[in-house]
Amino acid sequence: MQHDLVIHGGTVIDPSAGRRGAYDIAVSDGKIAAVAQPGSLAGTGAQELDASGYYAVPGLIDLHAHVFESVEGMGARADTVGVLQGVTTVVDAGSSGEKNFERFLRDSVEKNATDVKAWLNISSLGLEGGKSELKNTAALHMDRTVERIAQFPQIIIGIKARMSGSVVQGSGVEPLRIAKAAARRARVPVMAHIGNAPPALSEVLDLLEEGDVVTHAFHGKPGGILAEDGRLIPEARAALDRGVLLDVGHGSASFSFRVMEQARRLGVHPNSISTDIYLDNWRSGPVYSQTLTMTKLLALGYSLEQVVEMSTLAPAKVLKQGDRLGTLQEGTPADITLLKLVDEPAELVDADGQTLTAQQVLKAGYAVKDGAVVLCK
Ligand SMILES: [Zn+2]
């Protein structure tokens, strides 16, 4: 049988199938046609890709990025932080709202090979309206937000609410109440950004339900998920028990090695690894890429299988697309990333300027998006 593409010689890691080992992958018509014993597909590909020395994993998904290019000085080009870095799906986290979503669609979704999805900001203009987008709750439009989601259910996967002091100002948790009410009507989850109080994290967490996501979960600012004595605050325990999910959302100020290490000691783990990448922290760090963020979690003690699952199947489930994304199952879109663990000592830096030495760095070699091969930069 002839295939469009055969990837051979690599080590497959596919958490959706509990699979790790030497396999070849065949792709036809933009879909995974087969994952088979090494050598068994030799010579059957119109295009063949030698993946020796690479891990072939489902296409990476970044659950929190900023790719609305017309938000001046902020939005990165989706392909730059997407397929060119081995990330086949990026989820923009609240750069646009109901009012400017159609421009986001034209500027970001339609112009890139990378699959772009969105958490719609509960504020009508998203981040285009400034960085205090939730201070005036009278300007939040629940009905229009619900209508936009109904109009673009393939792209808008949830609602974003940034719940920190500088964003909400005097509004407290009211913007999150509105976001939750809209999300319930639209049957989508909420991604709540956490940071400096007020509002208190306990109040934010108490409003979240199963399937909602807390991003920047491991930030190092006061008032985070850990109390001063290093224990998990009870509201965080209760939220985890309800099925609320923790997301890394590294960003320029929102990921702390110290907090992540202590949380891990307590058995509290990220569900998903995401970057909160935008122009500035892509160019000048400390974020740079999804794979570098994965490298940091590796250096903190997570296994390669774990960081792959946290960057593929786990975020795919948040998108409610675990049956077609974040997997190498036959018949699903051929989104594949070839990763290499390079032996190279590196000094990793978190968002608080703390460092950690790694002996290996995870790098993306190729992305395959809907069957098309992209060489990563
Ligand atoms: Zn963000």
The Cα–Cα gap between 250 and 287 comes to 7
Q: Is the pLDDT of residue 12 over 90?
A: yes
pLDDT the model gives residue 155: 98
What is the mean pLDDT of the segment spanning 227-243?
A: 97
Q: What is the model's pTM? A: 0.98
The token pair that represents 165 in the structure block: 């002091």
pLDDT the model gives residue 98: 97
Residues with Cβ within 8 Å of residue 307, at least 6 apart in sequence = 273, 294, 297, 298, 362
C-alpha 345 to ligand 1 mean position (Å)? 29
| % pLDDT > 90, the chain | 95
**Element of type H or E holding 279:** helix 279-283
111-to-48, 73, 77, 79, 275 alpha-carbon distances in Å: 27, 19, 9, 9, 21
The token pair that represents 125 in the structure block: 């203009």
C-alpha 356 to ligand 1 mean position (Å)? 24
C-alpha 93 to ligand 1 mean position (Å)? 6
371-to-5, 29, 234 alpha-carbon distances in Å: 7, 7, 46
C-alpha 274 to ligand 1 mean position (Å)? 10
Q: Is the pLDDT of residue 139 over 90?
A: no
Which top CATH class is 3-57+330-375? mainly beta
C-alpha 233 to ligand 1 mean position (Å)? 24
Mean pLDDT of the chain: 97
Domain with CATH 2.30.40.10 in the chain: 3-57+330-375
C-alpha 157 to ligand 1 mean position (Å)? 16
C-alpha 92 to ligand 1 mean position (Å)? 8
Q: Is the pLDDT of residue 1 over 90?
A: no
CATH homologous superfamily for 59-318?
Answer: Metal-dependent hydrolases (3.20.20.140)
C-alpha 228 to ligand 1 mean position (Å)? 26
C-alpha 331 to ligand 1 mean position (Å)? 33
C-alpha 87 to ligand 1 mean position (Å)? 17
pLDDT tens-digit profile of 45-98?
999 999 999 999 999 999 999 999 988 789 999 999 999 999 999 999 999 999
Q: Is the pLDDT of residue 268 over 90?
A: yes
At 9, the pLDDT band (50, 70, 90 cuts) reads very high
C-alpha 184 to ligand 1 mean position (Å)? 22
pLDDT the model gives residue 294: 98
What is the mean pLDDT of the segment spanning 354-369?
A: 98
